[in-house]
Amino acid sequence: MELWKQGAEAKIHKTDFYGKPCIVKERFSKSYRHPILDKSLTAQRVKSEIRAMLRCRMSGILTPTVYFVNMDSSCIYMEEMLDSVTVRDYIQSVQSSKTAVEAIETLTPLANTIGHTLGIMHKQNIVHGDLTTSNMLLQGDPSNNRLCLIDFGLSFFENLSEDKGVDLYVLERALISTHPNTEKLFNVILEAYCKSNDTGSKDVIAKLEEVRMRGRKRTMVG
Amino acid sequence: MTEKKLKVDLSVPFPTEREAQIACGTLSVDSEPKRGGVKKELVVKGNVLNIHFEALEARMMRVGMNSFFDHLNLVIETMEKFGPPEK
Amino acid sequence: MVVAIGFEGSANKLGVGIVKDGVVLSNPRHTYITPPGQGFLPKNTAQHHREHALEVLQKALDEAKISPKDIDVVCYTKGPGMGAPLVSTAIVARTVAQLWGKPMIAVNHCIGHIEMGRLVTGAENPIVLYVSGGNTQVIAYSQRRYRIFGETIDIAVGNCLDRFARVLKLSNDPSPGYNIEQLAKKGNKFLELPYVVKGMDVSFSGLLSFIEEKAPQLLQKGEYTPEDLCFSLQETVFAMLIEITERAMAHCGSQEVLIVGGVGCNKRLQEMMETMAKERGAKLYATDERFCIDNGAMIAQAGWEMFRSGQTTPLKDTTCTQRFRTDEVDITWRS
């Protein structure tokens, strides 16, 4: 197996699985944390990740197909998303090649797709837990907006609006801190989200607002 | 109709006009808390700093003035230790 | 040559520091210490600052061996922090600035920590973990702002530790966090606690209620010692902090990490961060209690940068504010 990438908590190897291009996501142990905590977090995250990927696919959201799981070595064997770029790289390339106004215009359909997809995901009570533009891929020509969600290690199932609100808050912060001047795109994401998560979005948006205020209103002593 | 407001006028003399102005400069910056319902105005006449307080309740007036005296005292002590003002 | 004096009083430390072109000439501090089991209240903290501001200021001038006329700019903490203590400290700064005829600079407390950390360690463009009694943020610089990539969505890590110290009735001298750190060294039985990480954000309130509720029984039954609980608490909350810092480093492709803020002088936190950094081939920058804990020099240093980039704050605008986010400040001195 060839090591392809190393993220914060997993090594990604490339291989093939009975002839299909496959990547292996190996969660490695973190020597900075206590062994009991480390074991429990690693096992929990492998399980969360495969469960959420399966649930997403069942509701029509594109995620890599899981081929095989080895709990002993904390490895998930999954489909390699060929010909894909991260949303992060795509936004950066659009922002660097166009004027600010043009960039927002170009990226609006993508924001729509992101909002729509997250709406479906939350409607199924799947909370991603780590929504960033690095954890979203675009397959094929990026302008086709074929969006694939990845990195579900922090995900869980929950019907609470609070958790869904925090999920969106995490995305908002990641989007704006990574890509300055994208506040408008987040609004587009929210609009599309409300359309596809038709039943619960009102409460989620109210919670999002509450979590935002918590951040801003907190007195920060020391 | 008579206004139901409490008013207090305070005059604080300083050694020189410059020092009265410095105290005024320091103490005018912070606005009173909005909810407290206390208003204060600071004016310098000669070497005297005049402060006019207005409040709706005696309790509020006491809180506002207590805090003002704490701050005024700090300004005076600072001047005594680190003054007089540079020319 | 620019000499800056900084006044800090946003929480329970009153500090005055003097910095001359990147050299700290003096940095005395006086801490308001409350009895065990008690936190510091704004009113009493403000009174502490008023009582000690002038002696600390005199000490700063004496130790730096300079006279007021050598000073070029008077810097003070505008916020964030507790209102009354901030104002009491600002009043001294405003008064001396006028007495000495010097311009003023309003400084964001968090920016003070970051700039001091960069000065002391020489880190150029690090991911910053800012951890204290009131703040928990993961910060990176881009396009003239210190951008907040992750932060607590409820209480700060230092607040979580302080409040647990109150449950155990630990001394607040020199600080509750320091005493937790000492006890934790003697603990070894690990209690699993709620571990809540959301992307690059963390949450401590669930963990705190859990341990606050469980601690009395666990101690009474003799299943865990106070040392074990301090150990488990530190291991858990620090692991959460390292995880979000590492995620931010991976996200930004950064090879430098800087820890600032009062909790940042915890040796166990530094050790865990060092382990993480080494595994990534990155470098850890940390400072000791002189500069991690709130101090005047950090305000002077941030003010020095601001002053050199052409800023000053007119007297009428030298207000204080309890809420003042790190990412609100235009960083005019970095490219």
Digit-coded pLDDT (tens) for A153-172? 999 999 999 999 999 999 99
For residues A206 and A20, give the distance between their C-alpha atoms in angstroms, rounded to a whole number. Answer: 44
Residue C105 lies in a domain: yes
pLDDT digits (tens, 9 = 90+) for A113-124: 999 999 999 999
Contacts of C197 in chain A (CB under 8 A): 129, 154
- A218 has a pLDDT exceeding 70: no
The stretch C236-246 carries a mean pLDDT of 97
Quick check: A101 contacting C, CB < 8 Å? no
**Is A130 one of the annotated active-site residues of the chain?**
yes
**Chain A neighbours, 3+ Cβ pairs < 8 A:** C
pLDDT of residue A220: 54
For residues C184 and C25, give the distance between their C-alpha atoms in angstroms, rounded to a whole number. Answer: 35
Whether residue C35 is found in the same domain as residue C96: yes
Quick check: C37 contacting B, CB < 8 Å? no
Q: Return the residue matching tokens 């003697």.
A: C186
The stretch C278-294 carries a mean pLDDT of 93
Tokens standing for residue C292 = 């991690």
Whether residue C60 is found in the same domain as residue C184: no
Residues 6+ apart with CB under 8 A from C139: C110, C114, C127, C128, C129, C130, C146, C147, C148, C149, C326
Q: pLDDT band at residue A216, thresholds of 50, 70 and 90?
A: low
Tokens standing for residue C82 = 């507790």
For residues A216 and C151, give the distance between their C-alpha atoms in angstroms, rounded to a whole number. Answer: 11
Taking CA atoms, what residue in A is nearest to C153? A215
In 3-state terms chain C splits into helix, strand, coil percentages (rounded to 5) of: 50, 20, 30
Contacts of A129 in chain C (CB under 8 A): 197-199
Residue C199 lies in a domain: yes
As for how many domains chain C has, the answer is 2
- C23 has a pLDDT exceeding 60: yes
For residues C137 and C157, give the distance between their C-alpha atoms in angstroms, rounded to a whole number. Answer: 10
For residues C259 and C246, give the distance between their C-alpha atoms in angstroms, rounded to a whole number. Answer: 12
Q: pLDDT band at residue A214, thresholds of 50, 70 and 90?
A: confident
The stretch C48-76 carries a mean pLDDT of 97
CB atoms within 10 A of CB C9: 38
- C264 has a pLDDT exceeding 70: yes
pLDDT digits (tens, 9 = 90+) for A86-128: 999 999 999 999 999 999 999 999 999 999 999 999 999 999 9
Domains in chain A: ranges and CATH: 2-79 (3.30.200.20), 84-217 (1.10.510.10)
Determine the residue among C251, C252, C323 to mutate to test chain A binding: the one whose Cβ has the most chain A Cβ atoms within 10 Å: C251
Mean pLDDT of chain A: 93
Interface contact B29-C50, CB threshold 8 A: no
Q: What percent of chain C has pLDDT over 90?
A: 93
Q: pLDDT band at residue A7, thresholds of 50, 70 and 90?
A: confident
pLDDT of residue B33: 78
pLDDT of residue C37: 84
The stretch C178-197 carries a mean pLDDT of 96
Q: pLDDT band at residue C251, thresholds of 50, 70 and 90?
A: confident
CA triplet C302, A170, A145: central angle to 5 degrees? 120
For residues A82 and A140, give the distance between their C-alpha atoms in angstroms, rounded to a whole number. Answer: 8
In 3-state terms chain B splits into helix, strand, coil percentages (rounded to 5) of: 45, 30, 25
- Model-level pTM? 0.91
Whether residue C227 is found in the same domain as residue C323: no
Strand-pairing partners, residue A116, are none
Whether residue C152 is found in the same domain as residue C279: yes
Touching B: C residues 111-130, CB under 8 Å: none
Whether residue C103 is found in the same domain as residue C135: no
The stretch A33-60 carries a mean pLDDT of 96
- Exactly one of A130, A151, A198, A203 is catalytic; name it: A130
Looking at residue C169, which CATH number applies to its domain?
3.30.420.40
Q: What CATH superfamily classification does B6-82 receive?
A: Alpha-D-phosphohexomutase, C-terminal domain (3.30.310.50)
pLDDT of residue C53: 98
Structural domain containing residue C191: 125-288
Nearest-CB residue to B22 (from C58, C95, C318):
C95
Residue C119 lies in a domain: no
pLDDT of residue A196: 93
The stretch C133-138 carries a mean pLDDT of 93
Contact C87, C254 (CB under 8 A): no
For residues B61 and B66, give the distance between their C-alpha atoms in angstroms, rounded to a whole number. Answer: 8
Residue C335 lies in a domain: no
Interface contact C96-B78, CB threshold 8 A: yes
Query: What does the buried/exposed string (b/e) look like for C198-221 if buried means 16 or more CB atoms within 10 Å of the residue's CB?
Result: bbbbbbbeebbeebeeebeebbee
Helix (H, G, I), strand (E, B) or coil at C242: helix
Interface contact B71-C91, CB threshold 8 A: yes
Domain ranges of chain B: 6-82
For residues C164 and C176, give the distance between their C-alpha atoms in angstroms, rounded to a whole number. Answer: 9
Q: pLDDT band at residue A3, thresholds of 50, 70 and 90?
A: confident
Long-range contacts of A158-165 (CB under 8 A, 24+ apart): A158/A125, A158/A127, A159/A125, A161/A200, A161/A203, A161/A204, A161/A206, A161/A207, A162/A207, A162/A211, A163/A127, A164/A122, A164/A127, A164/A200, A164/A204, A164/A207, A165/A204, A165/A205, A165/A206, A165/A207, A165/A208, A165/A209, A165/A210, A165/A211
β-strand C29-31 against C23-26: which pairing, if any? unpaired
pLDDT digits (tens, 9 = 90+) for C202-226: 999 999 999 999 999 999 999 999 9
Nearest-CB residue to C158 (from A37, A177, A222):
A222
- A208 has a pLDDT exceeding 50: yes
Tokens standing for residue C186 = 């003697």
Under-50 pLDDT residues of chain B: 1
Whether residue C103 is found in the same domain as residue C243: no
In angstroms, the separation between the Cα of residue C146 and the nearest Cα of chain B is: 28
Interface contact C94-B29, CB threshold 8 A: yes
Upper half-sphere CA count for residue A159 (Cβ side, 13 Å): 1
- A217 has a pLDDT exceeding 80: no
Whether residue C62 is found in the same domain as residue C206: no
pLDDT digits (tens, 9 = 90+) for B10-29: 999 999 999 999 999 999 99
- A222 has a pLDDT exceeding 50: no
